[in-house]
Amino acid sequence: MNQEMNGVDADQVQRVAQEINGQEKIDYVFKVVVIGDSAVGKTQILSRFTKNEFCFDSKSTIGVEFQTRTVTIKGKLIKAQIWDTAGQERYRAVTSAYYRGALGAMLVYDITKRQTFDHVARWVEELRAHADNSIVIMLVGNKADLGEQRDVPTEDAVEFAEDQGLFFSETSAFSGENVDTAFFSVLEKIYGVVSKKALECGNGNKSNGVALKGAKIDVISGSELEISEMKKLSACSC
Ligand SMILES: Nc1nc2c(ncn2[C@@H]2O[C@H](COP(=O)(O)OP(=O)(O)OP(=O)(O)O)[C@@H](O)[C@H]2O)c(=O)[nH]1
Ligand SMILES: [Mg+2]
């Protein structure tokens, strides 16, 4: 059959058929970690992005867990595999092990708690020590809906982000403000990095932990096995 069928690309037809059969033809899997102090809203930001849900009574995360959302970026089907880590100090050694292979990081602080912003530099150091140096980092000031209790001026965060070469966004997991935009922005930037690496490699194999097009996408099942031993769900009682 011709490559073109009534103006429709054969690849597109195959993708539609796979979608009808409930199979997604994923082009890339991008691992993103969400880090930052306890209670800044990491779990709720993730929950807003992957399920459009928010819970006021969210329990502190124990260990690490992940959720996924599949999105289309520049015509590519991308599965974002987003790892939610525990912010509590006692889990630090466990969570930093999960930075490996991460292409992006959302570094979250609470705009109403100065201390959580003061700790951001430490989190950046941790990332630089444990993650790939091409990792895309987005500094996220969460709880923007609580503007009247603001303890971190936006300018302070912008200055820090510029200084450290980070992207920056203020979000509210509660209202949903900017949550999608922040994640999409990170995923688009990762796509830029991955496309560049793919061009440099000149083929579709895995390189430096980056899941390039054509690479076997076994990240999800492998990680699920691994995480099932580790994860204790921070169940929401809503
Ligand atoms: N008003 C408001 N509250 C929020 C927002 N995001 C999270 N919260 C609340 O902040 C508290 C902590 O949220 P979590 O998402 O559990 O915090 P976390 O960063 O995952 O904390 P750890 O799992 O301990 O690291 C919960 O009571 C949430 O309902 C937000 O955008 N606005
Ligand atoms: Mg949490």
Whole-number Å distance between alpha carbons of 84 and 216 = 24
DSSP-derived secondary structure letter, 90: G
Instruction: Indicate whether 181 belongs to any domain.
Output: yes
Whole-number Å distance between alpha carbons of 140 and 138 = 6
Q: Kindly give the confidence (pLDDT) of every residue in the chain, 238 residues in length, as a single tens digit, with 9 standing for 90 and above.
A: 344 444 445 555 555 555 555 666 899 999 999 999 999 999 999 999 999 999 999 999 998 999 999 999 999 999 999 999 999 999 988 888 899 999 999 999 999 999 999 999 999 999 999 999 899 999 999 999 999 999 999 999 999 999 999 999 999 999 999 999 999 999 999 999 988 877 777 654 444 344 444 333 233 333 333 333 233 333 444 5
What's this model's pTM, rounded to 2 decimal places? 0.82
Instruction: Indicate whether 151 belongs to any domain.
Output: yes
Instruction: Indicate whether 226 belongs to any domain.
Output: no
Give the count of domains, the chain: 1
Whole-number Å distance between alpha carbons of 124 and 16 = 41
- Over the stretch 136-171, which tens digit does the pLDDT of each residue have? 999 999 999 999 999 999 999 999 999 999 999 999
Give the CATH number for residue 174: 3.40.50.300
Which of 44, 65, 149, 169 for a ligand 1 pocket mutation test, highest count of atoms within 8 Å of Cβ?
A: 44
Q: Measuring from each residue's beta carbon to the nearest atom of ligand 1, which residues come in under 6 Å?
A: 38-44, 55-56, 58, 60-61, 86-88, 142-143, 145-146, 172-174, 234
Those residues whose beta carbon sits under 5 angstroms from the ion ligand 2 are: 42-43, 61
Instruction: Indicate whether 191 belongs to any domain.
Output: yes
- Neighbouring C-alpha atoms within 13 Å toward the C-beta of 74: 11
Instruction: Indicate whether 65 belongs to any domain.
Output: yes
**Residues comprising the chain, all counted:** 238
Provide the token pair at 154. 């936006």
